[in-house]
Amino acid sequence: MMIAWTLAVAIISIVNGIDETRLWKIPPPMKGFTWQPYLGRWFYQFRKAPCSWSGSNEFTDFEVFFSKETKHSIMLSLSMRNDICNTISSRLTFESSEAIAKIKDPVGGSYDGIYVHVAGNPKTFMIWYGCTKLSITEDKCDDPFVSIMTKMPFPNKKVIGQINEALMMLWGFTVDQLTHIPKFQCIAVTMMIAWTLAVAIISIVNGIDETRLWKIPPPMKGFAWQQNLGRWFHQFRKAPCSWSGSNEFTDFEVFISKETKHSLILSLSMRNDICNTISSRLTFESSEAIAKIKDPVGGRYDGIYVLVAGNPKTFIIWYGCTKLSTTEDKCDDPMVSVMTKMPFPNKKVIGQINEALMKLWGFTVDQLTHIPKFQSCVSKSYVETRSKWLPYSY
């Protein structure tokens, strides 16, 4: 046990290839830093999030607008997308050095702490070190983080090189060891002119007019699960808000097996840094194409599921609703999942999927989140064993 504990302590601080012990010590601030030339709009590019706000790793289109408030304070308007757009305004206060400041999270205390501007150039980039939890036993940080912002939304190689050089000098790693913040549809809701725009397009997600998904579609005629059992690969998704973190999954697949006349077992396998498998029960009554699923872990994907299109040899399209409206016959939190029988479908199959999606909702797979495939979480022996267990397997 002692050896295992020692080993655990030695490796617990390694995050994304970063030796986190290097971040425990609060670094000195950048010499001569003043806020004046850094005011305005900046785009988050790379981060090592604090444990207190680990969910922020899921954000896309993450940006900030700095504006001067007083001699000793700056206003931060943070804009981010986590399936939907949000803006949070915070106050950054400083005393003798403008490069060392404190921030108070007005919403939930997730990012309260000390912030240090450690490197940057007002025309290109800035690197922040933050600490949301100071150690009570020694002069170090128990919950550090690193944020890198750039003046342009898509910095060139020269700027990335400058950032890497600064990171190597500070902590011995590069941006490759940090979480990249994707940019799909930047909405500058931090500025008043963009607020009006945001109200007009708030229902647009990844180019999808989400209002089209509010109405629950009719099921596919003549659908039966008998021909659709076995292994399927998730390819494209529009995740529900209740499970928005699933957009980060890779190697996402499902094994569908028959349980009773009115129920199936879905074994979901996915990778989110590590592999996990969750088994859920899908139940139906008169129509096999309309079913209910119960999430046994956290209720994130509880809801009604409708199979709307498919071919047992190539693809299936599911519509799901995790939150029915209380005021009218519509869905407040819809989702769409596209699965294929093969892990890498050909152009013909993608064309058939696009044709079905266009008929249903007027968009194609290009407007959905693609699920990357690197290394399956499911072993060949597992699939072979499951197939032997089930008389209804593929």
Q: Give the contacts of 384 (CB within 8 A, at least 6 positions apart).
A: none
pLDDT of amino acid 378? 78
Both structure tokens of 191: 């500025």
Render the burial of 246-262: b for 16+ CB within 10 Å, e for the rest. bbbbbbbbbbbbeeeee
Please say if the pLDDT value at position 63 is more than 60: yes
User: Going along 83-188, which residue ranges are E strands?
Assistant: 84-94, 100-104, 113-121, 125-131, 144-150, 179-180
Q: Which residue has the higher pLDDT, 96 or 108?
A: 96
Render the burial of 160-185: b for 16+ CB within 10 Å, e for the rest. bebbeebbeebbebbbebbbebebee
Length of the chain: 394
Query: What DSSP assignment string belongs to 334-388?
Result: EEEEEEESSSS--HHHHHHHHHHHHHHHS--GGGSEE---SS-SS-HHHHHHHHH
Q: Which residue has the higher pLDDT, 368 or 107?
A: 368
pLDDT of amino acid 297? 65
Q: Give the contacts of 186 (CB within 8 A, at least 6 positions apart).
A: 43, 61, 63, 153
Pairing verdict, β 230-238 and 250-260: antiparallel
pLDDT of amino acid 305? 93
- Using an 8 Å Cβ cutoff, are 219 and 306 in contact? yes
- Using an 8 Å Cβ cutoff, are 292 and 305 in contact? yes
- pLDDT above 90 coverage of the chain, percent: 40
Average pLDDT of the chain is 81
Average pLDDT over residues 13-26: 72
- pLDDT above 70 coverage of the chain, percent: 81
Helices (H), the chain: 2-11, 157-170, 192-201, 347-361, 380-389
Please give the single-letter amino acid code of residue 50. P
Residue ranges, comma separated, of all CATH 2.40.128.20 domains in the chain are: 16-200, 207-389
Render the burial of 206-224: b for 16+ CB within 10 Å, e for the rest. bebebeebbebbebbeebe
Please say if the pLDDT value at position 23 is more than 80: yes
- Residue corresponding to tokens 């922020």: 56
- Residue corresponding to tokens 């050095």: 97
Which of 166-175, 193-202, 364-373 is the least confident region?
A: 193-202
pLDDT of amino acid 5? 35
Average pLDDT over residues 101-120: 82
- Written out in words, the top-level CATH class of the domain with range 16-200 is mainly beta
pLDDT of amino acid 16? 55
pLDDT of amino acid 3? 42
Per-residue pLDDT tens over the stretch 263-287: 999 888 888 777 888 888 899 988 8
Average pLDDT over residues 26-45: 93
Q: Give the closest residue to 360 by CA, choosing from 183, 217, 248.
A: 217
Which of 48-57, 70-79, 182-191 is the least confident region?
A: 182-191
> Where does the pLDDT of residue 150 fall: very low under 50, low under 70, confident under 90, or very high at 90 and above?
very high
Q: What is the pTM of this model?
A: 0.48
Please say if the pLDDT value at position 355 is more than 90: yes
Please give the single-letter amino acid code of residue 140. K
pLDDT of amino acid 206? 54
Please say if the pLDDT value at position 387 is more than 80: no
Please say if the pLDDT value at position 196 is more than 90: no
- Using an 8 Å Cβ cutoff, are 293 and 337 in contact? no
pLDDT of amino acid 35? 93
pLDDT of amino acid 262? 92
> Where does the pLDDT of residue 86 fall: very low under 50, low under 70, confident under 90, or very high at 90 and above?
confident
Helix (H, G, I), strand (E, B) or coil at 100: strand
Helix (H, G, I), strand (E, B) or coil at 55: helix
pLDDT of amino acid 83? 66
| Fold (topology level) of 207-389 | Lipocalin (2.40.128)
Q: How far apart are CA 52 and CA 360, in angstroms?
A: 41
Q: How far apart are CA 392 and CA 285, in angstroms?
A: 19
pLDDT of amino acid 298? 64
Which of 106-115, 154-163, 180-189, 274-283 is the least confident region?
A: 180-189
Q: How far apart are CA 39 and CA 36, in angstroms?
A: 6
Please give the single-letter amino acid code of residue 248. E
Which of 158-167, 189-198, 276-285, 377-386 is the least confident region?
A: 189-198
Please say if the pLDDT value at position 147 is more than 60: yes
Q: How far apart are CA 6 and CA 299, in angstroms?
A: 36
